[in-house]
A = this chain, B = another copy of it.
Amino acid sequence: MSGYSKITPELGAEILRAAGPECEIADPELLEAAATDATGMVRSPELVLSLKSAVQVSALMRLANKFVFPVTPRGAGTGLAGGSLAEHGGVVLRLDEMNEIIEIDPVNLTARVQPGAVLADLKAAAAEHGLFYPPDPASLNECTVGGTAATDAGGPACVKYGTTRQYVLGLTCVLPSGEIVECGSRTRKCVVGYDLARLMVGSEGTLGVITELTLRLVPMPRAASTRVAVFDDIFKATAAVSRIMNAGVTPSAVEFIDAKCLELIRDLLPFEGVKKGSALLILEADGMPGSVAEEMDVMESAAREAGAAHMLAADDEAERAGVWDMRRRVSLRIHENAAVYVPEDVAVPLDRVAELVDRLPVFEGYHGLTVYAFGHAGDGNVHLNVTADDASKEEDVEACVTGLLEYVLELGGTISGEHGVGLAKKRFLPLELSEESVRLQREIKRVFDPNNILNPGKVF
Contact residues of A with B, CB < 8 Å? 105-110, 130, 151-152, 154, 158-159, 162-163, 165-166, 175, 179, 181-183, 185-196, 198-199, 201-203, 207, 218-220, 222, 242, 245-250, 287-295, 347-351, 376, 379-381, 412-421, 425, 429, 432-434, 436-438, 440-441, 443-445, 447-448, 459-460
Contacts and interface: CB of A to CB of B under 8 A. Distances in A.
B294 A187 contact: no
A417 B195 contact: no
Contacts of A415: 192
Contacts of A195: 152, 165, 198-199, 201-203
Nearest to A216: B162
14 contacts: A107-B242, A107-B350, A107-B351, A154-B189, A181-B436, A187-B348, A187-B414, A187-B417, A194-B444, A195-B199, A218-B250, A219-B249, A249-B288, A288-B291
Contact of A246 (B106, B175, B186, B295): B106
B437 A196 contact: yes
Contact of A440 (B105, B248, B287, B448): B448
* Identical chains bound together, number: 2
B437 A187 contact: no
Contact of A288 (B109, B218, B290, B419): B290
The 3 closest A-B pairs by CB, nearest first: A290-B290, A291-B291, A288-B291
B242 A347 contact: no
A188 B250 contact: no
B219 A185 contact: no
Given A194-B202, A288-B290, A443-B447, 13 more contacts: A162-B162, A162-B166, A181-B436, A185-B413, A187-B412, A188-B379, A188-B417, A189-B414, A189-B417, A192-B432, A194-B207, A194-B441, A220-B248
Between A108, A249, A460, the greatest number of chain B beta carbons within 10 A of the residue's beta carbon is seen for A108
Given A347-B188, A441-B193, A459-B193, A175 B436 contact: yes
Contacts of A287: 287-288, 291
A418 B459 CA distance: 33
Contact of A191 (B187, B218, B418): B418
A185 B437 CA distance: 13
Contact of A294 (B166, B290, B417, B432): B290
Contacts of A189: 154, 158, 163, 347, 376, 379-381, 414, 417-418
